[in-house]
Amino acid sequence: MIERGLELALRKARGAEITLHDERVSSAEYEDDKLKRVSASQSCELEVRVIVNDRIGTSRATDAGEVESAVSRAIELAEFGSEARFDFPGPAAGPAVKTHDPRVEQTSREELVASGGEMLERLKAYNPEIKVSAETAWSLSRGRLVNSSGLDVSADYSTYVGYVSGMLVRGTDMLFAGRLHYWRSKTLDAAALANAAVQEFRRAERTAEVSTREMPVIFTPRGMQVILLPLLMGINGKNVLKGDSPLDNRLGERIAAAGFTLADDGTVDFAPQSAPYDGEGVPRRRNAVIRDGVLEGFLYDLETASKAGRKSTGNGPGCGASNTIVSPGAVSFEEMVKSTKEGVVVEQVLGLGQSNAMNGDFSVNIALGYKVENGEIVGRVKDAMVAGNVYDALPRVEAVGSQQEWYHTMCSPAVKIASLSIVAGQ
């Protein structure tokens, strides 16, 4: 069927690509201390891209049987598509990366329910007043990509997800805390995940006041999304090409402290965005982005790379990152805290992306964070914000943690910034 679609496309297009993705999902969800849903589902997604008169046309469908109509729509839409002076890639060996764990699909619904229930009970055992939500789920998918340059690749993917969160309300004070595990192999430790969430509640039992001023800020691995999300917009080749990125024309320059190294890596076994190929059939790879503070590269897809005079980095379509990895340093989180006379630890935030993120700005509410005094965490901060600019903050990285943690597609240690603006609520 896919081959037939490719044949039809090439009657009018000089190049064509068809991707088929099938997925099965099984999950168990708890909400407000109760088992809410146990479900299973299947889905299919078909995507067709064609190049007609050097313009790209794209169409999608949810049934493989619709390939012919999807091809026709893509050809029609190419008239209004962006310029495409590139060719779809031919056959090339992709990395030998592990993306499928057969144990995942062997997980029964009963096991999913039991894992979620264990996480719920551990939070309730710590404090029965906490309202708990939890989810455990697995998915199994198969992707196939065929194009007019002779490429025909396929791969199997699995994911295993565990999530637990709690809400504690005391008068007008509302505290949210939780943890997420997302991996392509079956490595969820439900007890450890729940215990990590309990630790957050325990640290937040007391509150501590902060004043509005500049002070050191320690971002935990989860809190590092405040720094990484605007930075990922800056290294996106499409934004660089348009001149929207503050990093345009800064390759080879120092943009961060010497101890800060960041890479995009789609070849880590079982990591969330790892794969032999990107969505355009280009082999995934490890891309050096920042090495010891120096900007070394941007991320490109086929279309953007052709316009920029570069080669695709295996980040297509869209030039988005795969797995974002900050290299570990030599300082433990405990040592960062101990060396801080007064500062704030940022664990979770609200409102990320509402500032001018493209410019690197952030001004976000601290949903979960802690006050540090004389080298100790003394309590949770309330009604406070952290504000600054990523490109001002990176040169002020004072310490990089020795222990990395994954948070969805980001892997980072804790990072201490020497000084950022903390704004206390009125």
| pLDDT tens readout for residues 124-135 | 999 999 999 999
Cα three-residue angle 351-357-360, rounded to 5 degrees: 125
* pLDDT higher than threshold 90 for residue 297: yes
Environment class of 243 (CB within 10 Å of its CB; exposed 0-12, middle 13-18, buried 19+) = exposed
* Mean pLDDT confidence for 76-98: 96
In this predicted structure, what is the pLDDT of residue 54? 96
Q: What single-letter DSSP state applies at residue 83?
A: B
Q: Which of 203, 218, 246 is at the close of a domain? A: 203
Identify whether residues 185 and 227 lie together within a single domain. no
pLDDT tens-digit map of 138-165: 999 999 999 999 999 999 999 999 999 9
Element (H, E) at 24: strand 15-31
Question: Confidence class of residue 426 from pLDDT cuts 50, 70 and 90?
Answer: low
Query: What distance in Å separates the CA atoms of residue 121 and residue 325, rounded to the nearest whole number?
Result: 33
Identify whether residues 71 and 192 lie together within a single domain. yes
Percent of the chain past pLDDT 90, that is, above it, reads 96
Structure tokens at 322: 């795969």
Number of domains within the chain: 2
Identify whether residues 144 and 198 lie together within a single domain. yes
Q: Which of 187, 203, 219 is at the close of a domain? A: 203
Q: Nearest-CA neighbor of 35 among 124, 132, 126?
A: 132
Kindly give the residue spans of alpha helices, DSSP state H, lying in 205-344: 225-235, 237-242, 302-308, 333-338
* Mean pLDDT confidence for 43-59: 97
Q: Which of 176, 203, 230 is at the close of a domain? A: 203
Total residues found in the chain within this entry? 426
For 316-348, b/e burial (b = at least 16 CB within 10 A) is: bbbbbbbbbbbbbbebebeebbebbeebbbbbb
Identify whether residues 136 and 279 lie together within a single domain. no
Identify whether residues 59 and 133 lie together within a single domain. yes
* Mean pLDDT confidence for 38-60: 97
CATH number, domain containing residue 39: 3.30.2290.10
Torsional class of 11: left (φ above 0), alpha (ψ -120 to 50), beta (otherwise): alpha
Query: What distance in Å separates the CA atoms of residue 68 and residue 73, rounded to the nearest whole number?
Result: 9
Do the beta carbons of residue 293 and residue 308 sit within 8 Å? no
Structure tokens at 399: 């310490």
CA distances from 307 to 147, 203, 239, 310 (A): 21, 51, 12, 8
Identify whether residues 118 and 214 lie together within a single domain. no
Do the beta carbons of residue 177 and residue 202 sit within 8 Å? no
* pLDDT higher than threshold 90 for residue 411: yes
Identify whether residues 183 and 248 lie together within a single domain. no
Identify whether residues 111 and 174 lie together within a single domain. yes
pLDDT tens-digit map of 358-410: 999 999 999 999 999 999 999 999 999 999 999 999 999 999 999 999 999 99
Identify whether residues 155 and 29 lie together within a single domain. yes
Identify whether residues 280 and 402 lie together within a single domain. yes
Residue numbers of the domain that contains 341 = 206-426
Q: Nearest-CA neighbor of 138 among 187, 207, 199?
A: 187
Query: What distance in Å separates the CA atoms of residue 388 and residue 226, rounded to the nearest whole number?
Result: 10
Identify whether residues 93 and 161 lie together within a single domain. yes
In this predicted structure, what is the pLDDT of residue 337? 98
Identify whether residues 236 and 331 lie together within a single domain. yes
* Mean pLDDT confidence for 175-180: 95
Q: What is the C-alpha R_g of the chain?
A: 23
Mean pLDDT estimate for the chain: 96
